[in-house]
A and B are shown apart, each in its own frame.
Chain A
Amino acid sequence: MTRLGIGLRLMASLVATFVVLVLLGGTVAQAQAPVCSVWLIESSRFMKVPFGAFMPDRAFVPGSNSPSNNIPTVDLPVNVGVIKCGSDLILYDTGWKQQDYLKMTGSDHWAPIAEQLKVLGFNAADVTKAVIGHAHWDHAGQLSDLPNAVLYVQKQELAAIEWALNYPEKHIRAINSDPGGCNRTPACGYMPLTMEEVYGKILKGKAVVVDGEMEIAPGVVIHPAFRAHTAGSQLLEVPTSIGKLVFGSDAFSSYEAIRDWMVANVQQTDSVQQFLAYERCYKITGGYENCVAAHEPLSYTDKYPLTKNSWVALNGGRMAEIALAPGEKSRKP
């Protein structure tokens, strides 16, 4: 073999070795990338909500044969994400705390968050972080029952509520503007008890006021979705064994709405921003299947495949096991 031939063979061997090492390195890096385990729990269920009040494009039309318009009411779960990433136990949204005001909301199947966590084998005191998608009463309650959790709330969410409270016109600053319910005014839905829970966390030094995007654990990223439901709505990207998930709280109120590009649960919502939040999920996860919706009526059924691995737990409330990290045991009974 000539010196040139030996040189070429040596070069080829080096290149091949390099390629193998790169491939192996990539594979190992991929295998070692931290992934989280994820469950979904139903904090409660709002019963018989007119479909059109939830999704205007699905409003019931008497006599219609269209599948989009022939359902008069829907039952809306209030979903809470339970996310275990290494030593972190993270909640995305915290539901609401039913006391003796159950009938007020026409809700059913409520169970205390601490008891629901026990069903999954966790203690409320083990929750390290509570990320609220927004601060409405049915998503940011029970914070005082999570004594060690650090609250993550957007600066923009707080600023918008304060702006509304200081607005001179009484309807604009109303929390509950008329008997029978408020009308999607800027501060509507931020009831005093809920805001005291938020303030309680801040007072105890257990809150992070987030300004935009923030990684709160390896690969677990808060994304702002301002005005996609409320002024300071925020999404949560979570790496799992089934790909990335994005939790959206009420920016993603309905899985079907994300799939079909319809608005849902319009409150302090800019519909353009809601669609942009949907698009963010498509971009991060590669589609709509891994977008986690807060109030999807099809939750815990085959028709919302991400949540189909479900069971009935406390007080008729449902739970789903969505993804398990390697080595994580199933918590499904």
Chain B
Amino acid sequence: MVLATVVVVAWQHELRPTKRQDAVSTTSPRPEPRALTAEEESYAASLWQIHREVTPSAVAMSFAGIVYETANHDARQLERKLEPVAQFFGDAEPRLRDLRVPASLSRVHSQYVDALVLYRKASQEMLAFTKDGERQHLNDAHDMSVQASQDLLRVGEVLWPGQYKPH
């Protein structure tokens, strides 16, 4: 009986006529990003030298937390992993502020500065956790990192469209 029911249901499902709806492309043309001026290109190239180290440092900060949670709960090891990351973010800030920023990109630059400050604060929050064990530090640090990473993407949208390819 059960088998018969299954057969009937399967037959109804598989063999009943279905209305085919072919894929319809609704692609709408989107405006291409504005080409950067020579001055803006120069700024983007200078910022990239910092940015290419910011992204692995941001991911390294997440991974310090991931390893702590999944491997060993070793606060000293977490501290050892975070210290160079916090140092990097601290050192990168003055480098960033020294860049010559075209007026047209002042908002973009501010976003990047804000992101870097957030990453530095996040790393300090995580380091605070290694001192007092209060998990709220980790949650706060995570929220800051997420916001910083979103800002990084907003900047990337203007300066380096295409930095992440289909994977």
- Bound together, the chains give a CA A50 to CA B45 distance in angstroms of 27
Least distance between B14 CB and chain A CB atoms (Å): 7
Chain B residue contacts of A196, Cβ below 8 A: 58, 62, 142, 145-146, 149
**If the complex has contacts A49-B166, A104-B161, A176-B55, are A192 and B20 also in contact, measured as CB distance less than 8 A?**
no
A109 & B26 in contact (Cβ 8 Å cutoff)? yes
Tell me whether A311 is interfacial, beta carbon within 8 Å: yes
Q: Which residue of A lies closest to B159 (CB)?
A: A179
- Bound together, the chains give a CA A316 to CA B21 distance in angstroms of 12
B153 & A101 in contact (Cβ 8 Å cutoff)? yes
Tell me whether A158 is interfacial, beta carbon within 8 Å: yes
Tell me whether A58 is interfacial, beta carbon within 8 Å: no
A181 & B67 in contact (Cβ 8 Å cutoff)? no
Tell me whether A17 is interfacial, beta carbon within 8 Å: no
Interface 1/0 per residue, A92-115 and B, CB below 8 Å? 000000011111111111000000
Chain B residue contacts of A198, Cβ below 8 A: 62, 66
Q: Mark out the residues of chain B between 17 and 52 whose CB falls within 8 Å of any chain A CB in the assembled complex.
A: 18, 20-28, 30, 32-33, 44-45, 48, 51-52
- Bound together, the chains give a CA A179 to CA B52 distance in angstroms of 9
**If the complex has contacts A27-B3, A175-B56, are A242 and B167 also in contact, measured as CB distance less than 8 A?**
no
Least distance between A251 CB and chain B CB atoms (Å): 13
Tell me whether A8 is interfacial, beta carbon within 8 Å: no
A interface residues, how many (CB within 8 angstroms)? 81
Q: Pick out which of these stretches binds chain A: B4-12, B86-94, B98-106.
A: B4-12
Q: List 25 A-B contacts (CB under 8 A).
A: A28-B3, A31-B2, A103-B157, A109-B27, A158-B66, A165-B56, A165-B59, A175-B55, A179-B44, A179-B48, A179-B160, A181-B162, A189-B164, A191-B55, A191-B59, A192-B55, A192-B149, A196-B149, A198-B62, A199-B63, A203-B142, A209-B70, A241-B6, A316-B24, A327-B9
B interface residues, how many (CB within 8 angstroms)? 60
- Bound together, the chains give a CA A180 to CA B160 distance in angstroms of 7
A267 & B167 in contact (Cβ 8 Å cutoff)? yes
Q: Pick out which of these stretches binds chain B: A136-144, A254-262, A270-278.
A: A136-144
Chain A residue contacts of B55, Cβ below 8 A: 174-176, 191-192
Q: Mark out the residues of chain B between 140 and 165 whose CB falls within 8 Å of any chain A CB in the assembled complex.
A: 142, 145-146, 148-150, 152-154, 156-157, 160-165
- Bound together, the chains give a CA A309 to CA B15 distance in angstroms of 12
Binding site for B on A (CB under 8 A): 27-28, 30-32, 46-47, 49, 76, 78, 99-109, 136-139, 144, 155, 158, 161-162, 165-166, 170, 173-177, 179-182, 187-193, 195-200, 202-203, 207, 209, 241-242, 250, 265, 267, 295, 300-302, 308-312, 315-316, 318, 324, 326-327, 330, 332
Least distance between B122 CB and chain A CB atoms (Å): 10
Q: Mark out the residues of chain B between 85 and 131 whose CB falls within 8 Å of any chain A CB in the assembled complex.
A: none
**If the complex has contacts A202-B70, A241-B10, A326-B9, are A161 and B63 also in contact, measured as CB distance less than 8 A?**
yes
B145 & A203 in contact (Cβ 8 Å cutoff)? no
